[in-house]
Amino acid sequence: MNGLVSLIGAGPGNPELLTLLGKRRLEEADVIVYDRLVNPALLSPFVAEKIDVGKMPLHHKISQYQINDMLVDLSKQGKRVVRLKAGDPYVFGRGGEEGQYLSQHQIPFEVVPGLTSAIAGLAAAGIPITHRDFASSFHVITGHRKANGEELDWENIAHQEGTIVFLMGMAQLPNIAKQLVAHGMASDTPVAVVQWATHWKQRSISSDLANVVQTVEKMHISSPALIVVGGVVKLMGDLQPHRPLQGLHFLIPFKQDSKLFNALQDEGAAVNFFDRRVKKPLAFELPDFDAGGVLIVTDFAAFHYFQERLLTLGIDNRALANWKLVASNHIVKYRLQQDGLLADGLYDPKKLDYKRPIVFIGERLALSNYNVDVAAKADYLATYQSETINQNIDLNDFHGIVFPSSASVTDLYTGCTSEERELMSKMSCFAMGQTVANECQKLGLKNVIEVKPSYDNVIQTVKKVFAR
């Protein structure tokens, strides 16, 4: 059966500006085919295969025909496909053509709208696209000249009431400014240019038609950018958001942690997660519950899979009544407690009762750290296996790294090339807790800032370090 293709709008860039349906489809997808402007931070939580079809300009680019065929082929393989486009899929960017092609090939497809940069991108720079005092209409225009070199209808455009927004217009900016003035617009009409709206690297300038080309050159603003013409630009001063960590970009080399993400994002920072691991549950033999013994939980996720398995068999935690429960560390102990289980103690190989059956629960490879040298053989229950997935992340894009655990330090470090390690060693590394800081130092990271492990402390320390 052909798989559903969802044409999804990713919104202007900030990963939280995605619709709920878009998010669900990304979770369900087998494969995500995405464009150049899509923020990598939006993609990183999803485990689907990811295909980048929008290489940077001047590099080899996959043609629109190839993309269309790729969508059809993937669907015919029965895959659930997400075609992810910046902004709204039907605002420029050829989403409509892709839909037509799918429809002609009898491929089931849907469109999931997104926030177009033409509106949301302006708002992020403090420009409301309409305003009672300045504009009662808006016009979104492509600045990309047609293939046959035909000019836009400048006479018409220059005489519109309201805000004019040009997309894909940067290469044409001198012509746009010239034509608007030549067709009757005042040369002091306000103009703003907003680059990478809602991304961490967002920058904007305001000017007027006479000076905008110069200002843009001076400030080195380039594509992708929105060109906004009209009185609403005057509101930028009043409506521009000012948040303390605006413009800063942090990497958290760990699975998506919504609290840390929210805490940083609420202060204006942008965050990308880098979880190189996915957990694959494994089949395993259950211990003889009646025999009783010592159950050592080496990591909470592993215990979670164990419990899930019990539940599918109609058994719950009461099956462990004859067992002593031992946690490998305080965090595991705490997590067990949150689950309503009080551990009998913390793991100490010297204090184990070797006369009773011993069962270790953990991740497949990590369990080898618990080889106890005992006459009575211990049992090892690997309830899941952690697998590495490749995430392309450029460390140059980040101002700092927040490490929530020692594993996050080693995981990122081992996955880095020697140049990346060199770069990492100079970056501001916020280590949540002393153990994590020690791990950073052990690996030779030089700029390590130890932070008491709470979200609030992370925010306060980051603010201090980056205070301007």
Binding site for ligand SAH (CB under 6 A): 12-13, 37, 85-88, 91-93, 116-118, 121, 167-168, 194-199, 223-226
- Residue nearer to ligand SAH on the CB measure, 117 or 383: 117
For the CB of residue 243, give the shortest distance to ligand SAH in the complex, in Å: 18
Which of 85, 168, 185, 299 is flagged as catalytic?
168
3-state secondary structure of 205: strand
- Asked whether 297 and 383 are in contact (CB, 8 A), the reply is no
To ligand SAH, the closest distance from the beta carbon of 97 in angstroms equals 13
- How far apart, in whole angstroms, are the C-alpha atoms of residue 118 and residue 87? 8
As measured in angstroms, the least distance from the Cβ of 172 to ligand SAH is: 11
- Least separation in angstroms between CB 41 and ligand SAH: 13
User: Annotated catalytic, 35?
Assistant: yes
| Nearest to ligand SAH of 221, 395 (CB atom) | 221
Q: Does 168 qualify as catalytic in the annotation? A: yes
**Dist. CA 238–CA 127, nearest whole Å:** 9
Nearest 10 degrees: Cα torsion 41, 43, 44, 48? 180
- C-alpha 236/C-alpha 204 separation (Å) is 10
User: At 292, is the secondary structure helix, strand, or coil?
Assistant: coil
Choosing from 35, 88, 275, 411, the catalytic residue is 35
Residue 123 beta carbon to ligand SAH: minimum distance, rounded to whole angstroms? 12
The catalytic residue among 55, 218, 280, 446 is 55
Q: Which is nearer to ligand SAH, 87 or 404 (CB)?
A: 87
Point out which residues pair with 278 in neighbouring strands.
387
| Nearer to ligand SAH among residue 225 and residue 361 (C-beta) | 225
Q: What HEC string does 310-372 produce?
A: HHHCCCCHHHHCCEEEEECCHHHHHHHHHCCCCCCEECCHHHCCCCCCEEEEEECCHHHHHCC
Nearer to ligand SAH, 13 or 293 (CB): 13
Distances (CA, A) of 145 to 59, 128, 150, 175: 21, 27, 7, 11
Contact between 363 and 299 under an 8 Å Cβ cutoff? The reply is yes
Catalytic residue IDs: 35, 55, 168
